[in-house]
Structure 1
Amino acid sequence: MNKLIRTRFNCCTDINKIRERVRVKPEPVGLLSVIDPLIAAESLADTLMQIYLPNEFSLNFIKEMAGRASLHSSKLFTSEAGYVSQIYHPPEVEVSPVCLTGLAGVGKSQTIAALRKILPPPMDFTCDHYHGAVKLISHWYASARGKAGGKQLLTDFVLGSGEPSGRWNLSKLLVESRRRANRDGVSLVLLEETQHINTGLGASKVTDILLTMAAIGPPMIFVSNYSLVHKLLRRNSEDKQRLLSEPRIMLPDHPESQDWKDYVSECIRVSGGHIQVNIDDLAAELYRSTFGIKRLAVQILKLAYIECRNAGRESVKLADINRAYRSTAYSSNSKEVEELYLQALHPRTTGTHLDLRCPFDLPADKNSNVVKFARADRDHRVNATVFDSALRSNERAAMKHIDFIPGDASSPPKPARRSPVPRVSDEETAKTFHELIDSITPLPRPKKPK
């Protein structure tokens, strides 16, 4: 086989090259003070969402999956005779798919998008068996959202999206998919958004799709949240052994890791001066408010910017993040963050919120840093509460004026309680009832039909 085939994946397994090719550092936002606060906050959030700095897990995952694809490609193109043979007589090979799972918003889809950037682009391949060139494709990508089953996914690969399957049954589609995957040099199959599959048939539909895709032959990755994996764990052992034997768990960055600090520093840079907080303080406060989930970090910075504009300022301070955490728009997320901290401090294997609980057993060192951070944060807030309670009223007012309440120990103002409805006697109730009846104008009597 030619040299281009042998060197097809050479640039996909170097960590430094992967980092340079996949990271996204958008330009800082412009002047936002002249724009409506809500529109300006939306513009800031859109720019922050574009940030992608791959952490250590993402880099290693991309390198591993690219290496698997390279190994499969070398098996396909050992020789010209072997390549042609696998086109006309595709072997029946069923792989164990890799399950990429993690909390919602932790960055799984961004990692898959980065992996697709690394994989080689389509290239022309010529051999004596063909008249002309064949377009080689490094991977097949599909989204499971809204798919009726495995047959529909194979139909999209073989016949194209939107084409009717006609008289093709699942067996013929699977054979044709294997043949075309071998012909086009497909070395990786990616299936995303599996948790959004219509759950009309429960986990059986998801299992059917995953097993069908795994039967094509190339290495396969499917992306799922914890909620779907919990459902798959309740399947029979033959399904669990095939689908969940290769889990890759994407956890949030550790609060003291360099990856998290780099991400927070990039958020400050992209904000264009609209976030005026010390990086160490912001890193700690953001992690405390989001559990290291970057989708939530973008949302709370957006809400914090709205808070600062409502206060008549143009840049976010630490107190704005505290107020954003207690805002109505963030209330559903704050409850999930508190549940995640509760699970880290008091691990349980049963209970509610299975969508927030990792379905696999994790090594003790994976949670040690998070538990340490949660306990330190709890101690800090206790000390701040004690400090706040020791202040006099004039001292507390001065501290609030300069936004120097440690740990934001001050509780939010309680809404004014409505005065109770006064009790009335039976005579007053009867009198009011008769007055209401007398005030109602009687309706005219209906006319008799002619």
Structure 2
Amino acid sequence: MLDAAEQYSREAFPSAKEFLRRLYDFEIYHRKTAPWNPVCVTGLPGGGKTSIFVAATRLLEDDTVNAGAGHVLPLLGFRHLTIEDERSELGILRRTCWAFNRQWSGTTSSAHEKTRLKEDDGFPMRDLKRARDTTALVGFRSGCCGVMVDEMQYMTQSTTANTLVTKSLLELSYLRFPFFFAANFNLVAKLLARPPQDRDRLLSNPVVVLPDTVATEISETAWKNYIRECKRVAGGVLDFDVDKDAESLVRYTFGLRRKFVIIIKSAYGRAREAGRFAAGMSDIEEAYKSTAYYTHRKDVESLIAMETSGKKEQKEFVCPIEVDSTEAMARHRMAQEEQGRAVAEQMVIDSLSPAGRLAYQQAGGPKPDAGEKSKGSGRVKTPVSSSSLLAGSDQFHRKRK
């Protein structure tokens, strides 16, 4: 992202004199500039796409620049737009134009901003070309070096959404700024089904954000750094060993950071209910089995099953773009090894006597899921005999009387 912003800035603003010349003759300059091919950032829900965009807005702070001849103009960094309820190309362009007009950085999705959007005058809401030209001019004048578009999945809920999303993305690329957009796997699959000219323009630079894992050294380091930072920010209310428990935490969350945040919040709540001020791995395990984490647990189990078997059963979890084969093989191998360990552990548990199973649980072994019946806890069946049949008949007739 920074490389793209630097390349664009060097080409668009080579000097103050050239900048002013292009600003006052913008239509000619804009026509000569080729549209920017966007970067599609895709990944599983909760994998960190939005977090990447939010973090990028903090890298380049807004400022002002003296362009000479009394022109003190804003100098904007990245702009992060959340589409949410926009349902037209004009609406998206207007929201983008407002983002360029803002004198502070950050994500443009607040209620205050939506109110101002309705109150602003002068933006051409009936002419798409004029709206695009106005937005491009305001963005160039503001020195913006990149646009990031998020939450586009809400535009894909109607029968005509595929065309609308494609047109909206192309309109934003015509602004001639470095352009990044987040897309879930379903949206990417729909874009792949578009004609070749649309695919070439919108999916020529895909970036797949993979969930963290301990299968590769780079990803393991990133995962440990993340949970270590979460533990530090939590201020002592999380009690686990990052290096020792990193693999277990991957199993409970599939390395998805949103699910990690959800499970540690649930685990801390359970610890406080028990009168403790810190949540450990036993609390996280209980949170994993809880009703509150049910949908997340089903997602994790489905993802692990798909990674182990290689079957692509749930399309919303299948990346339509092939990922690096080395990374995929490492994840598959780790999932199979984990499955083998889980089967072996369950076989040992099943072979224990009730007393041995209780001692195993007291020593820190996993407890059975809620509602799971332990062996020997069911109703004891007695052999059928003539005396038992007669006794049952007598009991039935007494109840009828």
Shorter-chain TM range is 0.7 to 0.9
SS where residue 134 of structure 1 aligns?
A: strand
Q: CA deviation at 1:81?
A: 5.0
After TM superposition, the structure 1 stretch with the greater mean CA deviation from structure 2, 365-374 or 92-101, is: 365-374
After TM superposition, the structure 1 stretch with the greater mean CA deviation from structure 2, 196-205 or 236-245, is: 196-205
Distance in structure 2 (CA, Å) of the matches to 1:115 and 1:262: 19
Q: CA deviation at 1:211?
A: 0.5
Distance in structure 1 (CA, Å) of the matches to 2:230 and 2:174: 43
Which residue is 2:395 aligned to? Answer: none
Which residue identity lines up with residue 18 of structure 2 in the other structure? Answer: G
Q: CA deviation at 1:136?
A: 2.5
> Which residues of structure 1 form unaligned runs of 5+?
1-64, 419-430, 432-450
CA pair 277-126 structure 1, distance change in 2 beyond 3 A: closer
Aligned 1:50-199 pairs, distance under 5 A: 65-80=1-16, 82-87=18-23, 88=25, 89=27, 90-92=29-31, 93-128=34-69, 131-158=70-97, 161-162=117-118, 163=120, 165=123, 168-197=126-155, 199=157
Q: CA deviation at 1:119?
A: 1.7
Which residue identity lines up with residue 187 of structure 2 in the other structure? Answer: L
Which residue identity lines up with residue 260 of structure 1 in the other structure? Answer: W
SS where residue 358 of structure 2 aligns?
A: helix
Distance in structure 2 (CA, Å) of the matches to 1:233 and 1:417: 54
Q: CA deviation at 1:331?
A: 1.2
Distance in structure 1 (CA, Å) of the matches to 2:241 and 2:95: 51
- 1:180-232 per-residue CA deviation (whole Å, 9 max, x = no partner) reads 22222222122111122263322111111100000001111111222211221
CA pair 311-219 structure 1, distance change in 2 beyond 3 A: same
Which residue is 2:166 aligned to? Answer: 207
SS where residue 104 of structure 1 aligns?
A: coil
TM-score under structure 1 length normalisation: 0.71
Which residue is 1:238 aligned to? Answer: 197
SS where residue 149 of structure 2 aligns?
A: strand
Are 2:260 and 1:297 equivalent residues in the alignment?
Answer: yes
Q: CA deviation at 1:112?
A: 0.8
Which residue identity lines up with residue 105 of structure 1 in the other structure? Answer: G
CA pair 112-180 structure 1, distance change in 2 beyond 3 A: same
Are 2:176 and 1:217 equivalent residues in the alignment?
Answer: yes
CA pair 175-380 structure 1, distance change in 2 beyond 3 A: same
Q: CA deviation at 1:313?
A: 4.2
Which residue is 1:382 aligned to? Answer: 343
Are 2:187 and 1:228 equivalent residues in the alignment?
Answer: yes
Which residue identity lines up with residue 380 of structure 1 in the other structure? Answer: R
Distance in structure 2 (CA, Å) of the matches to 1:138 and 1:330: 38
Match of 2:240 among 270, 277, 294: 277
Q: Report if the CA contact (8 A) 2:125-2:131 is conserved.
A: no
Q: CA deviation at 1:142?
A: 1.9
Q: Report if the CA contact (8 A) 1:95-1:214 is conserved.
A: yes
SS where residue 191 of structure 1 aligns?
A: strand
- 1:395-445 per-residue CA deviation (whole Å, 9 max, x = no partner) reads 22223234x22xx27454437999xxxxxxxxxxxx9xxxxxxxxxxxxxx
- 1:11-65 per-residue CA deviation (whole Å, 9 max, x = no partner) reads xxxxxxxxxxxxxxxxxxxxxxxxxxxxxxxxxxxxxxxxxxxxxxxxxxxxxx1
- 1:338-379 per-residue CA deviation (whole Å, 9 max, x = no partner) reads 11112222334x54x222111101121112332233222212
Which residue is 1:357 aligned to? Answer: 318
Q: CA deviation at 1:80?
A: 4.6
Are 2:290 and 1:327 equivalent residues in the alignment?
Answer: yes
Which residue is 1:37 aligned to? Answer: none
SS where residue 337 of structure 1 aligns?
A: helix
SS where residue 253 of structure 1 aligns?
A: coil
- 1:115-143 per-residue CA deviation (whole Å, 9 max, x = no partner) reads 11112422122223xx4422232344322
Percent identity reads 26
Distance in structure 2 (CA, Å) of the matches to 1:72 and 1:330: 45
Which residue is 1:371 aligned to? Answer: 332
Distance in structure 1 (CA, Å) of the matches to 2:97 and 2:283: 53
SS where residue 222 of structure 1 aligns?
A: strand
Which residue is 2:387 aligned to? Answer: none
> Which residues of structure 2 form unaligned runs of 5+?
99-115, 380-399
Which residue is 2:386 aligned to? Answer: none
Which residue identity lines up with residue 365 of structure 1 in the other structure? Answer: T
Distance in structure 1 (CA, Å) of the matches to 2:232 and 2:362: 28
CA pair 385-312 structure 1, distance change in 2 beyond 3 A: farther
Which residue is 2:108 aligned to? Answer: none
Q: Report the number of matched residues.
A: 349
Note the aligned Cα RMSD (angstroms): 2.7
Distance in structure 2 (CA, Å) of the matches to 1:330 and 1:77: 51
SS where residue 77 of structure 2 aligns?
A: coil
Q: Report if the CA contact (8 A) 1:254-1:369 is conserved.
A: no
Match of 1:338 among 277, 283, 301: 301
Q: Report if the CA contact (8 A) 2:289-2:369 is conserved.
A: no
Distance in structure 2 (CA, Å) of the matches to 1:363 and 1:301: 31
Which residue identity lines up with residue 127 of structure 2 in the other structure? Answer: N
Which residue identity lines up with residue 146 of structure 2 in the other structure? Answer: L
Q: CA deviation at 1:114?
A: 1.2
Which residue is 1:28 aligned to? Answer: none
Q: CA deviation at 1:156?
A: 3.2
